[in-house]
Amino acid sequence: MNADVLARLKDAAGPKGFSVDPAEIAPHLEEWRGTWHGHTPLLLKPATTADVSRILSICNETATPIVPQGGNTGLVGGQIPLGGEILLSLARMSRVRRVDKAGANMIVEAGVTLAGAQVAASDAEMYFPLSIASEGSATIGGNLSTNAGGVHVLRYGMARDLVLGLEVVLADGRVLDMLRTLRKDNTGYDLKNLFIGAEGTLGIITAAALKLFPQPAEYATALVAVPDPRAAVDLLAQLQSATGGLLSAYELIARSGLELVLAHIPGAGDPLQAPSPWYVLAEAGGAARFALRQVLEDALAAAMEAGLASDAVVASSEAQRASLWRLRENLSEAQKKEGASLKHDIAVPVAAIPDFVARAIPAVLTAVPGARPVPFGHLGDGNLHFNFSLPKGGDGDAFLAKRAEVARVVHDVVHDFQGSMSAEHGIGVMKRDELLRYKSAAEIGVMRALKRLLDPNDILNPGKVLT
Ligand SMILES: Cc1cc2nc3c(=O)[nH]c(=O)nc-3n(C[C@H](O)[C@H](O)[C@H](O)COP(=O)(O)OP(=O)(O)OC[C@H]3O[C@@H](n4cnc5c(N)ncnc54)[C@H](O)[C@@H]3O)c2cc1C
């Protein structure tokens, strides 16, 4: 890369705003699963929106490609500079600019971690409901750029649904100040939504106005043994009706996944007497006077009588609630410890989940006999992590070599159910080809036109999402 351009970029970022130290840069070049490895001549670490604006205007003028990065927890390779681009870390933009309790919103900068945003809300006795396992490192900028989901989407929506306003720096350095906190604003095109879920290909998010909610005073949490996914879907409707729509999480877990947690996570125990092929972790939250625990117990007793559930445990303390959640939260870690796995982040309409599972598991087993299905995830949103572990005693590399073939099998079934082959994690580089296969030519055409309009020199995260 041109030395003069590098010098100008360093100057724009200021003395503390860049690094060429390989030891400092190295952790930014590897992603969590170790699948993608990047390289870069320069790590930029701007502290203000004005810094980002200066940096982008130089990049645009000199056609210098640049990759934005938040917490580097993305799972599709989007944040890694695979072609030796400049790397732009937003981590230093970590100010909570304002928390407005009366207006139920807060304005935070892109580099605030999700956990930090949650704390800023709870310090004001409010609640920011976005919650994902990587929240200690993942940032608000990354969350919005990937439109992150997580365990509370059922009640509060995806990251997109939690945004009131946005501040974005465009490819040419212009700042789009859309940091409004209005609940209603029908003044033409909703531009902020273009940048949410765009994975850094259309602009750099520098700050966001986020919605806040009242803190639930009490949670009712249950692990429920169900005979099959159909019963789990039927039970969802019953529990929503019984709680008046106060369910905030509804997670499906296959017995195979629970067994991996019991085998690999120290201290994990099966809270139910007898094994069940499937489980649901359900949680509702609300005011203490709603007596939600009693409501949940009554609804589960009725479900057992109707044959929708065979057993259940309702947490009677915060510690018990935490231990039920640990079973769910440790599924990825336990599967990692079991060895090689093939993962698919899919969504189909909620009611279609049982038929999808019934069709897709045999389809994969035909392609890879002996693969062990470990499906789990956000059933309440129709989103499953449709994962497979390697056959018992099988060769990990041989199993992983089937990645593309198995993904094609799974995604074709997803497509038949009018589903999505990327429910939460985005496209990045991992699913670019799949995007072209499953989106209509008209949709791809509009996406390409938007990219050309907003980033004519193709400097923003080139090669990600679209080729
Ligand atoms: C253990 C684990 C669990 C996870 N669980 C979930 C889950 O439940 N739900 C879920 O949705 N995801 C989950 N993820 C994926 C990941 O945490 C999310 O995608 C997260 O939102 C990424 O945030 P980040 O700050 O790490 O972004 P990064 O990984 O740094 O970047 C992600 C993408 O956003 C772009 N980007 C980053 N910051 C900006 C910015 N300021 N402006 C423009 N573009 C930007 C990057 O270029 C990249 O394309 C999980 C990941 C891990 C490792």
Q: Quick one: pLDDT at residue 432?
A: 95
- Tell me, in angstroms, the distance from the centre of ligand 1 to residue 142's CA: 5
Reported confidence tier of residue 40, pLDDT bands at 50, 70, 90: very high
Reported confidence tier of residue 259, pLDDT bands at 50, 70, 90: very high
- Sign, CA dihedral 456-458-464-467, equals positive
Q: Quick one: pLDDT at residue 44?
A: 98
In tens, the pLDDT along 213-233 reads: 999 999 999 999 999 999 999
Q: Quick one: pLDDT at residue 116?
A: 98
Answer whether 46 contacts ligand 1 (Cβ < 6 A): no
Q: Quick one: pLDDT at residue 287?
A: 86
In tens, the pLDDT along 364-373 reads: 999 999 999 9
- Tell me, in angstroms, the distance from the centre of ligand 1 to residue 161's CA: 16
In tens, the pLDDT along 377-398 reads: 999 999 999 999 999 999 999 9
Answer whether 89 contacts ligand 1 (Cβ < 6 A): no
CA distance 197 to 147: 5
Tell me the three-class secondary structure of the chain, residue by residue.
CCHHHHHHHHHHHCCCCEECCHHHHHHHCECCCCCCECCCCCEECCCCHHHHHHHHHHHHHCCCCEEEECCCCCCCCCCCCCCCCEEEECCCCCCEEEEECCCCEEEEECCCEHHHHHHHHHHCCEECCCECCCCCCCEHHHHHHCCCCECCHHHHCCHHHHEEEEEEECCCCCEEEECCCCCCCCCCCCCHHHHCCCCCCCCEEEEEEEECEECCCEEEEEEEEECCHHHHHHHHHHHHHHHCCCEEEEEEEEHHHHHHHHHHCCCCCCCCCCCCCEEEEEEEEECHHHCHHHHHHHHHHHHHHCCCCCEEEECCCHHHHHHHHHHHHCHHHHHHHHCCEECCEEECCHHHHHHHHHHHHHHHHHHCCCCEEEEEEEHHHCEEEEEEECCCCCCHHHHHCCHHHHHHHHHHHHHHCCCECCCCCCCCCCCHHHHHHHCCHHHHHHHHHHHHHHCCCCCECCCCCCC
Q: Which atom of ligand 1 is nearest to the CA of 111?
A: 41
Per-chain mean pLDDT for the chain: 97
In tens, the pLDDT along 443-467 reads: 999 999 999 999 999 999 999 999 8
Q: Which atom of ligand 1 is nearest to the CA of 139?
A: 25
Answer whether 150 contacts ligand 1 (Cβ < 6 A): yes
pLDDT at residue 308 tops 90: yes
Per cent of the chain over pLDDT 90 is 97
In tens, the pLDDT along 20-29 reads: 999 999 999 9
User: What mean pLDDT comes out for the span 9-16?
Assistant: 97
For ligand 1, atom 6, the nearest C-alpha belongs to 132
pLDDT at residue 306 tops 90: yes
pLDDT at residue 240 tops 90: yes
Tokens 């038929």 identify what position?
355
Reported confidence tier of residue 267, pLDDT bands at 50, 70, 90: very high
Answer whether 78 contacts ligand 1 (Cβ < 6 A): yes
Q: Which atom of ligand 1 is nearest to the CA of 150?
A: 8
**Beta-carbon contacts of residue 188 (< 8 Å; ≥ 6 apart):** none
For ligand 1, atom 33, the nearest C-alpha belongs to 199
Q: Quick one: pLDDT at residue 272?
A: 97
In tens, the pLDDT along 101-134 reads: 999 999 999 999 999 999 999 999 999 999 998 9
Answer whether 425 contacts ligand 1 (Cβ < 6 A): yes
Measured CA distances, 77 to 168, 305, 460, 461 (Å): 22, 47, 15, 11
Q: Quick one: pLDDT at residue 454?
A: 98
User: What mean pLDDT comes out for the span 290-309?
Assistant: 96
pLDDT at residue 135 tops 90: yes
Answer whether 205 contacts ligand 1 (Cβ < 6 A): yes
- Tell me, in angstroms, the distance from the centre of ligand 1 to residue 299's CA: 37
- Tell me, in angstroms, the distance from the centre of ligand 1 to residue 365's CA: 31
Answer whether 111 contacts ligand 1 (Cβ < 6 A): no
In tens, the pLDDT along 413-446 reads: 999 999 999 999 999 999 999 999 999 999 999 9
In tens, the pLDDT along 326-357 reads: 999 999 999 999 999 999 999 999 999 999 99
User: What mean pLDDT comes out for the span 1-19?
Assistant: 96
Q: Quick one: pLDDT at residue 289?
A: 86
Q: Which atom of ligand 1 is nearest to the CA of 198?
A: 44
pLDDT at residue 288 tops 90: no
Q: Which of 56, 134, 455, 459 to mutate to test the pocket of ligand 1 (most atoms within 8 A of CB)?
A: 134
